[in-house]
Amino acid sequence: MIFSQVHRFAELDSTNRKALELANQGAAEGTVVVARTQTSGHGRKGRAWHSPVGGLWMSVVLRPPQVEGLTLMASLAVVRTLAKFKVGALVRWPNDISVKGLKVAGVLAESRLLGQSVDHVVVGIGVNVNQTEFPEDIRDLATSLRLVTGRECDLHGFEQVLLHELDGLYHHYRATGPADCIRAVAELSELTGQRVAVETEEGTVEGVVRGLTATGGLELEGGQVFYTAERVRRAT
C-alpha cells in the first residue's frame, strides 16, 4: 500500500494546499493529508467547499507519468468505497459523485508540471460522511452517507477503505494507463441519457449525453465532445 504516510490535522485551510506544499518540498508519492475540518476547502475555479467536522477531507500526493483520467480514477475509488458501505453512487462528470442526484463527494486534482513532464499531482477528495445538515446554498444539491443510510459511519474505517481502493486502482493505472478506469466510470455515468447544459468558457451548449469517450471526455448525441466544463447542469 503506497498510502501509508498519513499526516493528520485537526484543522487546515485546505488539505490540497498542504499536500501541494509537501509535494513541492519533495514528499514521496503516496503521502496523505487528512484534516477533520477545513477553513478554506476549495473546489474547481476557486469555488468554496464546505468542510465541517464529520466529513472526510483528504488529499494524496501522486507522481504519475501523466494526469489523464486521474480525477475519474479517484471518483471510481469513491464509488467503490461507497458500495462497500452499501450505498449505490454514480459519477457525475467531470468530478462529482452523486447518490440519487445529490452530490455526496467531489474530487479536485491539481498538478505541477516541470516542462513537459508531471512533477506531482495532488488529488483531493471530499466526502460528506456524517454531516446531517448543509448550508442553505447547497441544501438542495448535497447529501451525506449518514443521511442516505440513516446511520453514523466510522470515518476512519471509511478512510481506510477509500485508501485501499485508491491503492488498487492507482497501481493498475500506473501499470496500464487510464483506459480501464475511464471505461469503468463510463458504466457509472449519471449523466448518460440526460439532457444537460454544458457551461464552458466559450458559452453554453445543450444536448443529450451519449456517454464518456475512451479518453474521458463527455460526448453529446451528435458527437460534440467536452474535455472540460465550468459546470454541467440538467436541462429541461
Per CB under 6 A, the list member of 96, 159, 165, 219 interacting with ligand BT5 is 96
The nearer residue to ligand BT5, 70 or 107, going by C-beta atoms, is 107
The nearer residue to ligand BT5, 119 or 133, going by C-beta atoms, is 133
**Rg of the Cα trace of the chain?**
17
Task: Give the alpha-carbon dihedral of 183, 185, 190, 192, to 10 degrees.
Answer: -10
- The β-bridge relationship of strands 231-234 and 225-226 is unpaired
Q: Is 15 in the site for ligand BT5 (CB under 6 A)?
A: yes
From 46-54, 145-153, 171-179, 185-193, span contacting ligand BT5 (CB under 6 A): 46-54
The nearer residue to ligand BT5, 65 or 156, going by C-beta atoms, is 156
The residues in 106-125 that bind ligand BT5, with binding defined as CB under 6 A, are 106-108, 124-125
Distance of alpha carbon 60 from alpha carbon 191, whole angstroms? 27
Q: Is 103 in the site for ligand BT5 (CB under 6 A)?
A: yes
From 36-44, 83-91, 157-165, 194-202, span contacting ligand BT5 (CB under 6 A): 36-44
Q: Identify the DSSP state of 149.
A: H
Per CB under 6 A, the list member of 43, 177, 211, 217 interacting with ligand BT5 is 43
Per CB under 6 A, the list member of 7, 36, 50, 195 interacting with ligand BT5 is 50
φ and ψ of 136, to 5 deg: -55, -40
Grid-cell match 476512519, residue found: 156
Closest-CA residue to 71 (of 49, 105, 94):
94
Cα 39 to Cα 8, 34, 144, 159, 203, distances in angstroms: 15, 13, 19, 20, 32
Q: Is 14 in the site for ligand BT5 (CB under 6 A)?
A: yes
φ and ψ of 147, to 5 deg: -65, -35
Q: Is 98 in the site for ligand BT5 (CB under 6 A)?
A: no
Q: Is 54 in the site for ligand BT5 (CB under 6 A)?
A: no
Closest-CA residue to 61 (of 159, 165, 170):
170
Q: Is 3 in the site for ligand BT5 (CB under 6 A)?
A: no
| Residues at the contact surface with ligand BT5, assessed by CB under 6 A | 14-16, 38, 41-44, 47, 49-51, 57-59, 95-96, 103, 106-108, 124-126, 128, 138, 141-142
